[in-house]
Amino acid sequence: MGRYKEMLQIIKPKMVNRSLAGNLFLLLFMAICGVFMAAPLVLIVCNAFKPLDELFRYPPTLFPRNPSLDNFSDLTVLMSNSWVPLTRYIINTLIIVGGGTVGHVLLASLAAYPLAKRDFPGNRLLFGIVILSLMFSWQVTQIPNYLIISRLGINNTYLALILPASAYGLGLYLMKQFMEQIPDSLLESAVLDGASELRIYWSIVMPNVKPAWLTLAVLQFQQMWGNTGSMFLRDEELKPLQFSLQQIIGGGPARQGAAAVVTLIIAAVPITFFMLCQSNIIETMATSGMKE
Amino acid sequence: MEKTAVVGKKRNEGSLSFRIKKNRAVYLMLAPYFILFFFFTILPVLTSMALSFSSFNVLEPPVFTGWSNYIRLFLDDDIFKTALKNTLILAVVTGPISYIMCLMFAWIINEFKPWMRAFLTLIFYAPSISGNAYMVWNLILKGDRYGFLNGMLMELNLIETARIWMKDEKYVLLFLIVVQLWLSLGTGFLTFIAGLQTIDKALYEAGAVDGLKNRWQELWYITLPSMKPQLMFGAVMQITQSLAISDVSINLAGSPSVNYAGATLVTHLIDQGTIRYEMGYASAIATLLFLLMIGTNKLAQKILRKVGT
């Protein structure tokens, strides 16, 4: 009995109102649901290591029997033969995702600070509009967005992807909610010392909201990483890595092996970033509640 | 005399123009974000509403046509009716279920020790951020015997020949719901996990003293009321997501899907706007979707405000 209890030590000890039967039930339940959630992801990983004949086997198997790295070398060959060099796609992704992420974190936090900490005419109205913007998704505005971007003359440039991404509503919302917990006394002493608002923002507020800007960066990265940019970018030389990866996925049966690796890459990159920043993100989300 | 002068000065300091001038630095800080926000969020919504009353094919200037787009949608467009019906079914099923899943999994995960909690959070959250890796479901639902579902069911002798799942009207919506639920533990889920960790432990001990007998009572009387702000935010995330289902349908059921069994408002909007170039008509769909999303969210906020009161 003692050993079983020890096994169940992954559950927090010394909580009031907990029964062993209840713990066992929850463990079992989570195990079943965890398998459902993880199975497709495991399949993605396994497929990347299956030789081509195993990708088309009946009955299909989850785990590879003769794991190989053939698919990876196939992918490198494919990528090195592409019309636009791979490095170009990577540079494009760095510019687009980097620009959109840095721009968003800077602009959103610059606007979030006065919204959280200063009382000025229009404060509630502006924040109310941002909350309203969380209540509909980008698909609603995609057509007028296209027209506006053409009208602004930034179609077929990096800016067509960077500028809209810099002004997403969710980031500003999360940043403002997180900044509210900075103690006012910290800011007041700086005001008494005669520091300007910009100075306070940069040297007091920003260092204190590091978890929030990491969170914004990771969420923004997740958003932008999946974007192929094909709606706005016509020139092949401007398109991001995601575009060339999607081309390979759509490449037919002969490319299934390389496509399996591509799927793995597409999924693994954002998941890795999340893993690295998980504790900061959870800390930020703790303040995300809506206080009416 | 002196008294009125002082009052006058005070009134002046409190006046709107004075307060705006005093906050000049603040407005400069807000400007970069809100200028972009105006161009890429507010202006598009207004444009969409205006265009919904016009006929517009991008090449020629829009022509005002009154309510005709809306009349055509409701009286003359059977695909729109299918799309609206599918959107509502998907939202009514995946919205509440995914919300409850987020809450329930977060609540259970919170019972574990930190390392296990971090691990489980990662497993459950990963599908929602793995880009379009959900296309791996194409391999699971593949219509020949190499598909995992077909393979499994045939091995178990439950079906005799492979079924083309995503080309059969009976199954399309069902599998879209399954995949959408798999994808739905996103921002709302993280918010609940984080919210649960901030609840004061002393509340539970006090609850036990006051006679709460098990974890279910704890959940109802302490946990849920303590995380009301997170519940409201999570609802916004799940509702908006469940009404915007489109990519999953396009990539798994095809576009157009068989007999439009997987059509949603967003896929219909994409079809009309980017393929047929009927921008006015597409804008009418977008405007309806906008109103549907805002309306549902406002309603949910109203209901959730009642939790624990």
pLDDT tens-digit readout, B207-218: 888 888 888 888
Q: With H, G, I as helix, E, B as strand and everything else as coil, classify residue A136.
A: coil
Q: Please name each of the domains of chain B with its CATH number.
A: 1-51 (no CATH), 69-304 (1.10.3720.10)
A228 touches chain B (CB under 8 A): no
Q: Rounded to an integer, what distance in angstroms lies between the CA atom of residue A18 and that of residue B215?
A: 7
CB contact under 8 A, B240 and A137: yes
pLDDT at A95: 96
CATH number corresponding to A80-285? 1.10.3720.10
The string of pLDDT tens digits covering residues B130-143 is 888 888 898 888 88
Question: Considering just the CA atoms, what is the radius of gyration of chain B in Å?
Answer: 26
pLDDT for residue B8 is more than 60 = no
Mean pLDDT of chain B: 88
B133 touches chain A (CB under 8 A): yes
The string of pLDDT tens digits covering residues A200-242 is 999 999 999 999 989 999 999 998 998 888 889 999 889 999 9
Q: Rounded to an integer, what distance in angstroms lies between the CA atom of residue B136 and that of residue B133?
A: 6
CB contact under 8 A, B229 and A114: no
CB contact under 8 A, A143 and B269: yes
Length of chain A: 292
Residue A152 confidence class, pLDDT cut points 50, 70, 90: very high
First to last CA, chain B: 53
Query: What count of other Cβ atoms lies within 10 Å of the Cβ of residue B87?
Result: 24
Nearest to B115 by CA among A275, A91, A245: A275
B305 touches chain A (CB under 8 A): yes
CB contact under 8 A, B194 and A285: yes
Q: Rounded to an integer, what distance in angstroms lies between the CA atom of residue B220 and that of residue B226?
A: 10
For B292, nearest residue in chain A (alpha carbons): A136
Taking only residues 30 to 69 of chain A, the set having a beta carbon closer than 8 angstroms to any beta carbon of chain B reads 30, 33-34, 36-38, 40-41, 43-44, 47, 56-60, 62
B245 touches chain A (CB under 8 A): no
CA dist list (Å): A236 to A57, A160, A239, A249, B308: 36, 15, 6, 17, 56
The partner residues of A11 in beta bridges, in order of sequence, read: B112
Best of A135, A149, A230 to mutate (most B CBs within 10 Å, chain B): A135
pLDDT at B2: 44
Q: Where are the beta strands (DSSP E) in chain B?
A: 54-55, 63-64
Taking only residues 158 to 177 of chain B, the set having a beta carbon closer than 8 angstroms to any beta carbon of chain A reads none
pLDDT for residue A51 is more than 70 = yes
Q: Rounded to an integer, what distance in angstroms lies between the CA atom of residue A16 and that of residue B129?
A: 35
- Domain spans, chain A: 20-68, 80-285
First to last CA, chain A: 49
